[in-house]
Amino acid sequence: MKKVRVTIIGGGTGLSVLARGLRQYPVEISAIVSVADDGGSTGIIRDQIDMPAPGDIRNVMSALSDMESKLESLFKYRFKKNEISGHALGNLMLAAMYDMTGDFALAVEELSDILNVRGTVIPSTNISPKLAARMHDDSIIIGESYIPKVQQQISEVFLLPKDTTATPEAIEAIEEADIIVLGPGSLYTSIIPNLLPSGMRDALIHSRGTKVYISNIMTQVGETIGYTATDHLKAINKHIGQNVFDYIVQNERNITSDISDYYRENGMTVVTSDKDQLDEMGISILTRDNLVSVDKDGAVRHNNDVIAEIIYDITLTEISTLQYRLNKDQS
């Protein structure tokens, strides 16, 4: 039987962490990555060359490469001289390939082949859009890196230009996926931006794949302060147009007493699961006692191996279901 196709969607560090965990399993991985980042080396390159943001793409390519141990340090290496000061080498390589091909999606594909990337890395759109947010007071903030700094409640986010279209590869990856995974990552600036290009929402709504949301562990300053797990899902569903999720991967362990004072001082709290509302939405909770870890400094993070194990457990269920349907059709 063919490998189960898992399409993961996101940006920031969360998507590369998930990709790194999943690559050890016999699944076919497609990663749809946000390209609306406008900070640091990524922001400078996209402004100077007018190309989609390369930073998150670079991180996922590194995570899925067979040469990851060597490639990660090389990709992250930042020059300290003259015009290229501060630029990550991986960003420059993507910029060079884009300059050669004139097509960002093709540039990613070509560089992935060179680096022996295990899976398919796909930009959510093939242009260089700006992310904008309408805040609770109806003010508009433009720029992915600026939105959280306002520290106001976000009503919705959108792309400029508004007619930004999804890459055909992204649509195909969703349509053909057996499992579709969103998160973990910044809700409004890493996860939802992938859903905004034209074609993405319809593809998600009509996809027959099992859909999973990986909840963040903590609320985030400038984006989700006070949010429960249901609030995260409702924000995503608002931008899609309806609820599409089957599962949520959610921390259920009480870690409040173990976390750093930094979180409390900044109003960040553990994301709670509000099970009754999730039940009403028809969403099942998946969890493990070791889903998250708290280090000696009180910093919290997901255990990427455990997340990958949970996702693979879903794929095994999917395989069993597909085999049952096949046997039933043949009988």
Confidence of residue 156 (pLDDT cuts 50, 70, 90): very high
In this predicted model, what pLDDT tens digit does every residue of 136-151 receive, in sequence order? 999 999 999 999 999 9
pLDDT band at 256 (very low <50, low <70, confident <90, very high): very high
CA distance 246 to 264: 32
User: For 227-235, which contacts have Cβ atoms below 8 Å and span 24 or more sequence positions?
Assistant: 227/187, 227/271, 228/271, 228/272, 228/273, 228/274, 228/277, 229/271, 229/272, 229/273, 229/274, 229/278, 230/274, 230/277, 230/278, 230/281, 232/187, 232/271, 233/278, 233/281, 233/283, 235/187, 235/188, 235/192
Which pLDDT value is given to residue 194? 97
- Whether the pLDDT of residue 103 is over 90: the answer is yes
pLDDT for 1:
55
The partner residues of 248 in beta bridges, in order of sequence, read 213, 285
- What is the per-residue pLDDT across 158-205, written as a single tens digit (0 to 9) for each? 999 999 999 999 999 999 999 999 999 999 999 999 999 999 999 999
- Mean pLDDT computed over 114-137: 94
* Interval 295-325: pLDDT, tens: 999 999 999 999 999 999 998 876 666 554 5
Q: Which helix (H) or strand (E) holds 294?
A: strand 292-294
| Tens of pLDDT, residues 195-247 | 999 999 999 999 999 999 999 999 999 999 999 999 999 999 999 999 999 99
Is 292's pLDDT higher than 60? yes
**What's the confidence (pLDDT) of residue 220?**
97
61 versus 81: which is more confidently predicted? 61
Does 78 have pLDDT greater than 90?
no
Per-residue pLDDT at 5: 94
Which pLDDT score is estimated for 116? 86
Q: What percent of the chain has pLDDT over 90?
A: 73
The structure's pTM equals 0.91
> What are phi and psi for residue 134, nearest 5 degrees?
-95, 120
- Six-digit token string for 34: 């946000």
- Average pLDDT of the segment spanning 98-106: 94
Please report the pLDDT score of residue 71 as a whole number: 65
